[in-house]
Chains A and B, each alone.
Chain A
């Protein structure tokens, strides 16, 4: 029988024996490590859940779309510099269509929040957008009833509206909306169609929307509002090339001097994702840091308890050494004790952490999503923490002078 195997077997037996003998202490130390692992896993689970639900939301915008606006979607720093930029004009929209080889659909988009009502039913802060017929393709909506806005609607500034799923549900709980008249800020619009449901992006409800012809919007709510230009290109693969081309076209149309930066912003859904990832990345880092610190505290708890254990058992160590235990045997004995505590704590922490993430996803809108790798990493990390923090006490135990240890009171 190999000596190492004896050391391992005997080490394991003594470790279990000692853990059983100090039940309360074992439980408390285990809880310490468990809390660390649980915190870490719960946080990671929630962040992973957030990320995947954001990815799903983002997919509803459409990967092959571009939005030219006066300001970027994500503003960093001096927002007022964007205010002084020149507005876009409708002839520019037509010129973009004529000059770009990638554009398949283009529409000016102007919007405001407004109160919308039908009879007794009323909805506040509904997104009202003025768009043209091609916006249907760009937006990714589908018409579920009736029709979308047409060229003719726009040219003749007809007071017609296409309403989102939540507006339809809110204003017309009992009747079909098509043909009915709604009031937007008191002005009547005839509903000609309804839109499919798309869901939310972050806090923005895409279904609480009313779309009216672009020119009708201007006529009703004022021409001073700047608009942005929504564009669909041939495929998601050429978005980058399309963007470069559009930058050139826009600079020419707006006669931007060569030494000046762009006085417009081309926004892509991907940019939102990047910003989101930067934001959550920092959050993620902080959260994981907190979890790691908790684990560290748990690890120090283990070290503390192991040092106490070594001291308490100084004489036992002396006896074992006198009877033929080698240093290695003693080291293994204490390392096993430490890693047994942290492995049990890690497993408990995993169960609690996953449960916590699940509970959070049930009682809050946050979605939790824990990957197997995370679990393995969590438990593994706990075991490593136990080993690391067990090494010093174990080495202390093994390096005790047998003569001194035997005499220890």
Chain B
């Protein structure tokens, strides 16, 4: 459905070309990703699904510019980020990516508002503008009345909303969510998925990494990884089912 066509800046937000990633674990080489190629267009909502050991976490780290590939190229917003320096990658993460983690990853001692301000701090915005934008983002996720609460004064769902506000506040090119409902009960998880649906309707690009077929089934598109390779790419519902039929046996894979 989305074959790569060689050019980096073909208008797609994300273009992966034959990405591999090798790890050396205890003197042994582990190929976590073995030639991944696909693209994601602006405004898409894509689930990356796979069982543990399939390479999806490695792929997420690469997509999030927290890691660089061993070979292959990764174009993000027209720029080749696969060979960038550490500082350049930090800048790209700040500008292009809004992270949403399974464990929320909020700074425990800072208020919701300070947590949301953080990406703007590293972008170098003055304090007043940071505050205004952080408030707007918190209101958008329905936490306008929890600005000055610390994470331990918030419920799990509220914490994830703060994290989503933090991901939104810097207006990145894409939101990258790693098992965003993994630490939440089903009702709260449902709220968060609804919030994603809203964000998708509003035009945000969403990449969601999960091992749950149910969650992947709700995404318009899903990419299934197995043993470091793309084994299916299509409408979320079909790709999620694909798993049930095959029950692939997992080889030892990377993180």
Contacts and interface: CB of A to CB of B under 8 A. Distances in A.
Contact of A324 (B67, B91, B101, B107): B91
Contacts of B109: 17, 21
B90 A324 contact: yes
B101 A406 contact: yes
Interface stretch (A31-39, A280-288, A325-333): A325-333
Given A402-B66, A406-B101, 6 more contacts: A3-B124, A6-B121, A10-B121, A17-B109, A324-B90, A326-B87
Interface string B88-116: 00110111000101000111010000000
> 7 tightest A-B contacts by CB?
A324-B94, A324-B122, A326-B90, A1-B124, A323-B119, A6-B124, A402-B66
Interface string A1-43: 1110010001000000100010000000000000000000000
B93 A324 contact: yes
Contact of A406 (B94, B105, B125): B105
Nearest to A316: B107
Residue of A315, A320, A323, A329 ringed by the most chain B CB atoms within 10 A? A323
A10 B117 CA distance: 12
A319 interface: yes
A21 to B, nearest CB: 6
Given A322-B99, A324-B94, A326-B87, A403 B105 contact: no
Nearest to B86: A327
Contacts of A406: 66, 101, 105
B99 to A, nearest CB: 5
B191 to A, nearest CB: 23
Interface of A: 1-3, 6, 10, 17, 21, 315-316, 318-329, 402-403, 406
Contacts of A6: 121-122, 124
B84 to A, nearest CB: 12
B118 A323 contact: yes
B151 to A, nearest CB: 12
A281 to B, nearest CB: 51
15 contacts: A1-B124, A2-B124, A17-B109, A315-B105, A319-B105, A319-B107, A319-B118, A321-B90, A321-B93, A322-B93, A322-B105, A324-B90, A326-B87, A402-B66, A403-B61
B133 to A, nearest CB: 14
A187 to B, nearest CB: 88
Interface of B: 61, 64, 66-67, 86-87, 90-91, 93-95, 99, 101, 105-107, 109, 118-119, 121-126, 166, 255
Contacts of B64: 322
B118 A403 contact: no
Residue of B67, B86, B99 ringed by the most chain A CB atoms within 10 A? B86
Given A3-B124, A402-B66, A403-B61, A324 B105 contact: no
A88 B86 CA distance: 86
B67 A403 contact: yes
A403 B121 contact: no
Contacts of A316: 107
Given A6-B121, A21-B109, A323 B67 contact: no
A325 B122 contact: yes
A326 B67 contact: no
Contacts of B124: 1-3, 6
Nearest to B94: A324
A205 to B, nearest CB: 66
A403 B166 CA distance: 19
A329 B90 CA distance: 11
Contact of B122 (A21, A327, A329): A329
B53 to A, nearest CB: 16
Nearest to B87: A326
Contacts of B86: 326-327
A402 B68 CA distance: 12
A323 B61 contact: no
A1 B90 CA distance: 17
B91 A322 contact: no
A10 B124 CA distance: 10
Contacts of B166: 323
A5 to B, nearest CB: 8
A323 B125 CA distance: 14
Contacts of A17: 109
Contacts of B125: 1
B87 A327 contact: yes
Contacts of B91: 324, 326
A6 B127 CA distance: 11
Nearest to B123: A324
A304 B53 CA distance: 38
A326 B107 CA distance: 17
Contacts of A327: 86-87, 90
Contacts of A315: 105
A318 B87 CA distance: 14
Given A316-B107, A403-B61, A323 B66 contact: no
A242 B93 CA distance: 83
B25 to A, nearest CB: 13
B173 to A, nearest CB: 14
A323 B99 contact: yes
Contacts of A321: 66, 90, 93
A328 B91 CA distance: 12
A325 B122 CA distance: 6
B178 to A, nearest CB: 9
A323 B89 CA distance: 11
Nearest to B61: A403
A21 B109 CA distance: 9
Residue of B86, B93, B121, B166 ringed by the most chain A CB atoms within 10 A? B121
B126 A323 contact: no
